[in-house]
Amino acid sequence: MCGIIGYVGKEDAAPILLEGLRRLEYRGYDSSGIAVMNGSKSIQLRKKSGRLQNLRNLVADQPTKGACGISHTRWATHGEPTDNNAHPHLDQSGNLAIVHNGVIENYQSLRDALEKEGHEFKSQTDSEVLAHLIGKIYDASDETDLHKRLISSLREALKQVSGTYGIAAMHTDSPKFLVGARLGSPLIVGVGHGENFLASDVGAVISHTSNAVYLNDRDIVCLTEDEFRVETVEGGISDYEVSEVEYTAEQADIGDYPHYMLKEIYEQPESIQNVFRGRLLDEEASAILGGLNMTPKQLRDVDRIVLCGCGTASHAAMAGEYIIESLARIPTEVEIASEFRYRNPPLDKNTLVFVISQSGETLDTLSAMREGQRKGHRVLGIVNAVGSTIARESDGGSYLYSGPEIGVAATKSFTSQVTMLALLGLLLGRMRHLSVDYGKNMLEEIRALPAKVERILEQSDRIKEIALKYIDAEGMLFLGRQFNYPTAMEAALKMKEISYIFASGHASAELKHGVIALVTEKLPSVFIMPNDSVYEKNVSSLEEVKARKGPCIAVTTEGNTEMERIADDVIYIPPVTECLSPILSVIPMQLLSYHFAVARGCDVDKPRNLAKSVTVE
């Protein structure tokens, strides 16, 4: 959550910071602010609640000058989204400025102690307390090297706080000098020529450099325009490497699309192909996932699989559970990552744990990974962001290579994750009982997915017509069975996230166990019902809704004209083997929620109260 970018170099900092915030706004958009240090050793602070454009307007009216600065776009945790609560925050002296992601859990006791010493606070945030604490330690220090004084003050302050943080800070005593630190909240160093950057995401700096250092937890970094140094909070040397960012600024731009969400929906033929490119073995009728770092014997010894994720990733895991059990006959279960870390589930030595996260920085998922490792289990990651914390700390795993996903509502990451889990199921299945012929058929089906997705995307205008037909609906039910029960869950989440209406996903057969009480003439029900092994069962459930005058939208397989006589509206998907159907059936659901939300005037890329990467608990 929240976005940080800091800059030190030879250029005017404000335009660079504002551009970086634009690229980070998906991480939080309740308020934003910049602090720039000028040659007269003063900090120029500009903060504004609301969207980033409000800050742009303020800076245009009250320009700042200086080649060193920090900035922040906020997703509110402590304190409402107001001008005063916006970052950056100053210390008591006004000479130190910080921006902070994360949560300082003991901020109230620290604030109480500081107030007794005469400190006056201007916000309700936990972050301002950290600024005052660092400033207090700095002012009391007798260190004559001012760079060292700032670093040691930050280090000492961090020893007194509990919680998570991604921090960038600067002090008027040290012009053109930035310090940063991380624990739980991501922070990277953008390595430039005659300039360096701090940011919470590489997307903020890709217009300026393609080289980045992904900081580890409890790292402290200090930057000048010509160099940087990474240490640990404890004072030791930290190991790091300079990595090349895996995508370009052009790939992260919106292009000619009105919204990032629509762009990313339309990128799915390519993103799905990127998952299986180079990973299909025709000779063995199987898949290869070398990043798992496991021998064939170790994979054959797996008796149980646990899939952990949050939000959309948990729905992808649900689809993966069905796929892996179907193809590999290995007992598989899904754990919501935020619950797994606090439970004590019995896991035997042959249990393999996967954590699934687009960003690779989701705090609940990261904590679940560490909990599994703490108990001696092998934990593998399925992530999109190269160099992310889960990618670096897991025992192995696979990258999705889907490219940047900027829209807050996940789309291409879901289909990429399910595709990856299908490759995993095929790999494990061929090691056990799947025949060569079945494996070859799966390879054909997987390779055909991108073209089939393109056929669904061609129906966008028709799906928009259906969305407009139900634009006054205050709620919607999504129903599916077996492999498409997770699709129903994900479809409901998409509708809730971006249109703010009540939406609920259920297994179709659960209708008669309570859900059918919600059915009215004003509540549309969407049935995800391709021609599969439970198609007739879904028809019966749809008929139950129709008998109670509930409007029905059917998502079914091309050529199934029966639905045109029964359902009010029909959306078609190409035929596909049953276990891969969620990858296709979710596409029209993404388009339906997108067109519905746009027609209702919602900001689909920046839905209220949400942010893209959840790095707080």
Give the DSSP per-residue string, 464-522: HHHHHHTTT-SEEEEEE-GGGHHHHHHHHHHHHHHH-SEEEEEEGGGGGGTGGGG--TT
Per the CB < 8 A criterion, the answer to whether 403 and 277 are in contact is no
Structure tokens at 608: 């209220």
Three-state secondary-structure class, residue 219: strand
Whether 612 is catalytic is yes
Q: Output the pLDDT for position 437.
A: 97
Question: Which residue positions in the chain have pLDDT lower than 70?
Answer: 1, 39-40, 611-617
| HSE, side-chain direction, 13 A CA sphere, residue 449 | 35
Dihedral sign, Cα of residue 267, residue 270, residue 273, residue 277:
negative
Residues 6+ apart with CB under 8 A from 514: none
Give the DSSP per-residue string, 345-391: ----TTEEEEEEESSS--HHHHHHHHHHHHTT--EEEEESSTT-HHH
Q: Which of 486, 527, 521, 522 is nearest to 501 (CA)?
A: 522
CATH annotation of 3-252: 3.60.20.10
Q: Which of 486, 328, 319 is nearest to 418 (CA)?
A: 319
Could you say which of 2, 308, 310, 579 is catalytic?
A: 2
Q: Output the pLDDT for position 434.
A: 95
Residues 6+ apart with CB under 8 A from 321: 307, 332, 333, 334
Q: Output the pLDDT for position 321.
A: 98
Radius of gyration of the chain (CA): 26
For the chain, what are the domain ranges?
A: 3-252, 255-456, 459-602
Could you say which of 136, 176, 452, 612 is catalytic?
A: 612
Whether 2 is catalytic is yes
Q: Output the pLDDT for position 39.
A: 67
pLDDT digits (tens, 9 = 90+) for 59-78: 999 999 999 999 999 877 87
Question: Cβ–Cβ contacts within 10 Å for residue 435, how many?
Answer: 11
Burial degree of 562 (CB within 10 A; 0-12, 13-18, 19+): middle
CATH annotation of 459-602: 3.40.50.10490
Task: Tell me if 255-456 shares its fold with 459-602.
Answer: yes
Q: Output the pLDDT for position 251.
A: 79
Three-state secondary-structure class, residue 169: strand
pLDDT digits (tens, 9 = 90+) for 421-458: 999 999 999 999 999 999 999 999 999 999 999 999 99
Q: Output the pLDDT for position 1.
A: 63
What is the spatial distance between Cα 220 and Cα 235, in angstroms, rounded to a whole number?
A: 9
**Strands, sheet with 96-101, edge to edge from the N-terminal-most edge strand:** 89-90, 96-101, 165-171, 178-183, 219-223, 228-232
Domain 255-456: CATH superfamily, name plus number: Glucose-6-phosphate isomerase like protein; domain 1 (3.40.50.10490)
Burial degree of 177 (CB within 10 A; 0-12, 13-18, 19+): buried
Structure tokens at 108: 């109230």
Question: Cβ–Cβ contacts within 10 Å for residue 277, how many?
Answer: 10
